Structure 1
Amino acid sequence: MKLLQIAALAMLCLFCSNPAVSTMQEISEKNSNVGKGREILLKAVAAAGGLETFKQIDNFRIKTNSVIFQSQGQTPLTVTEVIQLPDKTKQTMALKQGKRVQVLNSDQSWKQVGNNISDLSEAEKREMRRGLFRETINIFRMTASDSLQVEYLDKETIGGQSSHILQIKNQSADFFRLYIDTATFLVTKKVYQGAPEVGLVTLEEKYSDYRTVDGIKIPFHTLVRANGRKFIESDVVEAKFNLPLEDDFFLKD
């Protein structure tokens, strides 16, 4: 081998082993993944109704008939959630045993079980905030915001369905994986960790039966698995946008 070739190979080895060069390559690759992730997310927004449509949403109400699957049996319930973006939500759960209400009103929060009204625990508040962050409509409204970090992770194919996998992260360091169909660009799944208080289970929400309501495509069926086991199944029975809410709607009853 010629000396120049040996020298060139030596320089190549030095180049590849140089930590600074490696770091620059990692930064370049990460920037590329960030750009690709944002591009795919924008396509998902367009497929579901368009960015301008989502920006016009102030609040919405989703009502579902749901079933919770537990070792001791199944628990049917009706859940009505009213969300006023970006930081207010009121969840009303009607069970056979009675009604439960949970409210996050910006920095204030409360719950009602039967006739008993009390403040939410810090863990309950944190989980409601995390739920608001993961809400698809909220994510789509924030697509162009610098406060939302979007990174392309990978692509997977299961059962003939291919999905792009994005990591979505907020300024509080909460994050989840968002799966987007490579053909339709509709959201097919979210994967995230549950609260430490319940053992850091891996939760997977799968979406199907998309229908258009007021120009917005939303999934009418959701299946939630906890560590791979069927946990909750829900069907939307009502979806309404931009309701005339009273000023005291999120205040304690």
Structure 2
Amino acid sequence: MTRIALWVLIGCLTAAVYASEQIPEHDLSADQIVEKNVAARGGLDAWRKIQTMVWVGHVDSANTPAEELPFALALKRPNMTRFEITVLNRRAVRMFNGKQGWKVSPSATGSGEARPYTMDELRSAHDEQVIDGLLIDHQAKGVDVALEGIEKVDGHEAYRLGVKLPSGVTRHVWVDAQSFLDVKYDRVARGPHGPITVEVKYSDYKDVEGLQIPFTIESGVAAAGKSDKLTIDKVSLNPPLDDGMFTRPASQGWHSSVSINAEPSPSTPPALSRPSP
């Protein structure tokens, strides 16, 4: 065999091996994909130990009057959430205590009145699986998962999973066929002219005390072609979070605020600051 023929053969074999490594395993079941996803994200036992979590970062959106709006997101099991975002030095807050939700929008004269969630907002909040998402411990949550096929997400093969929640709502989660990390999910929301599909993409995964957490999250309406980008700067695991911060403020103009230390760790959890009315 000539030297040229030998190099051609080696090149073909190398290409074949590379291609075989990139082709997803088509014979995996939904349960096997979920198992690999849980392992890739840090393991079931590790996630079960996380009872609270705080993210701090900034949001870039074409729908806001400023860039890099600072935000803080506090999460507590089973499904308590508090989201704060600062726009032009004024803070907007959304909070959900697992049963009821409230939202506070800043007014020209200061903090506005806390308004209750609408019925659609309540239904959506009840369906959210905070802390660890839809796939981890899905059987204990009463979530059914089915494999629907394989699709391309940003040029990479991904398993498309149909996820049915206890409420009967069905969503979709895409799991990368190589890393087995979540790369996308969608949900149906009520728009001004009827139902719309909201797509959320995850990227820039980083290790946080053994857990894989996406530090970039983009969301938007699938048909609109525009998205909001949420960039996480700091994450704290298991900080002490009082249930009171997820409930309606006791008085207008007074709201707890979530902050986080520069170097989050179990010994230096986020602090809760209480600005004056």
TM-score normalised by structure 1 residue count = 0.77
* Equivalences for residues 1-253 of structure 1 within 5 A: 36-70=29-63, 76-96=68-88, 98-113=90-105, 114-130=111-127, 132-133=128-129, 135=130, 137-145=132-140, 147-158=142-153, 160-197=155-192, 199-226=194-221, 227-253=223-249
Could you tell me how far apart the structure 2 residues matched to 1:159 and 1:92 are?
30
Shift in Å, 1:68: 1.9
**Sequence identity (%):** 22
1:125-149 per-residue CA deviation (whole Å, 9 max, x = no partner) reads 223333x23x571324423426110
- In 2, distance between residues paired with 1:136 and 1:166? 20
Calculate the aligned-residue CA RMSD, in Å. Answer: 2.4
CA drift of 1:124 comes to 2.2
Task: Name stretches of at least 5 consecutive residues in structure 2 with no aligned partner.
Answer: 1-27, 106-110, 250-277
- Specify whether residues 94 and 162 from structure 1 end up closer, same or farther in structure 2 by C-alpha distance, changes over 3 A only: same
Contact 2:93–2:104 (CA<8 Å) still a contact in 1?
yes
CA–CA distance in structure 1, aligned partners of residues 136 and 175 of structure 2: 17
Greater mean deviation of Cα atoms: 182-191 or 93-102: 93-102
Matched residue of 1:116: which SS? coil
Tell me, yes or no, if the aligned pair for 1:127 and 1:195 is still in contact at 8 Å.
no
Question: What per-residue deviation string (whole Å, max 9, x for no partner) do you get for residues 91-133 of structure 1?
Answer: 1121116211111112122222223123222222223333x23
Determine the C-alpha separation between the residues in 1 that align with 2:216 and 2:205: 8
Q: Which has the higher strand share?
A: 1
How far apart in 2 are the matches of 1:78 and 1:159?
27
- CA distance in structure 1 between the partners assigned to 2:103 and 2:187 by the alignment: 25
**Alpha-carbon deviations, 1:170-204, whole Å to 9, x = none?**
11012211111111101111122222556322221
State whether residues 223 and 230 of structure 1, in contact with CA within 8 Å, keep that contact through their aligned partners in structure 2: no
Instruction: Give the direction of change, closer, same or farther, for the CA distance of 1:136–1:42 in structure 2 (3 Å limit).
Output: farther
Amino acid at match of 2:99: D
Q: Are the equivalent residues in 1 in contact too, given 2:60–2:228 (CA < 8 A)?
A: yes
2:56–2:71 CA contact under 8 A, matched in 1? yes
Instruction: Give the Cα–Cα distance (whole angstroms) in 1 for the partners of residues 141 and 122 of structure 2.
Output: 24
Q: How many Å separate the matches in 1 of 2:242 and 2:120?
A: 28
Counterpart AA for 1:229: G
Do the aligned partners of 2:76 and 2:241 also contact (CA within 8 Å) in 1? no
Question: What is the TM-score of this pair, normalised by structure 2?
Answer: 0.71
Q: Deviations over 1:55-111 (max 9, x none)?
A: 1111111123112224x9766422211111122111112111621111111212222
The AA in structure 2 aligned to 1:203 is V
Q: Is the 8 A contact 1:38 1:143 kept in 2?
A: no
Equivalents in 2 of 1:205, 1:251: separation in Å?
27
> Which structure's residues are more often helix, by fraction?
1
SS in 2 for 1:46: helix
| 8 Å Cα contact 2:205-2:213 kept in structure 1 | yes
Task: List runs of 5+ in structure 1 lacking aligned partners.
Answer: 1-34
Cα distance in 2 for residues equivalent to 1:247 and 1:88: 8
Give the Cα–Cα distance (whole angstroms) in 1 for the partners of residues 228 and 208 of structure 2: 23
Alignment size in residue pairs: 217
